[in-house]
Amino acid sequence: MRKLVVVLAALALVGVGAIAYASIPGPGGVINGCRKNSDGSIRVIDSAATCQNGYTALNWNQTGPQGPTGAQGPAGVSGYEVTTAVNNHPGGGGSVSGTLDALCPGGKKVIGGGWRSQQLDAPNLLIHWSYPDVAANWWSIRYTVVDATAPFTLTTYAVCATA
């Protein structure tokens, strides 16, 4: 019998909580609250409740009114394409230096890029620069591999688009 009373009490609390939760915010998304006049503290109340003496009623919406339409943005970019340049080196020792450029095809502009190494001995790889040449429409890297005993592959990427 005692277990039944405990279970019923728990269900009653859940039911009351669900009813209170369901009415905050109230109809139309309005949130109701009371601001205590003496210290400015605010408490949220059920939409059917009223504020006590010494409190001022406050109501606000979850979402505000629609704002004005923003300005038109710049013309977009289309026709993305990624081009690559690859250098495969067999290894065998010594230092290897070079420049590797990935070119954009005619009429497209470089808008990004980078590089990747499949070198087996990566601590020996030095990248001196990795940057775009916007006027020439390519992405370039300058590299050195010190003591290139292991084979390696370097790839330069250029992200190109019609602007």
Domain ranges for the chain, please list them. Answer: 24-63, 78-162
* 78-162: in CATH 2.115.10: no
What tens-digit pLDDT sequence spans the chain (163 residues)? 666 545 455 555 555 554 445 477 777 778 888 999 999 888 888 888 889 999 999 888 767 778 888 777 556 666 778 888 888 888 777 888 889 999 998 888 898 999 988 765 556 788 899 999 878 788 999 988 887 777 888 899 999 888 6
At 132 the pLDDT is 92
At 22 the pLDDT is 47
User: 65: which 2 tokens?
Assistant: 């009114």
Is the pTM here over 0.85, yes or no? no
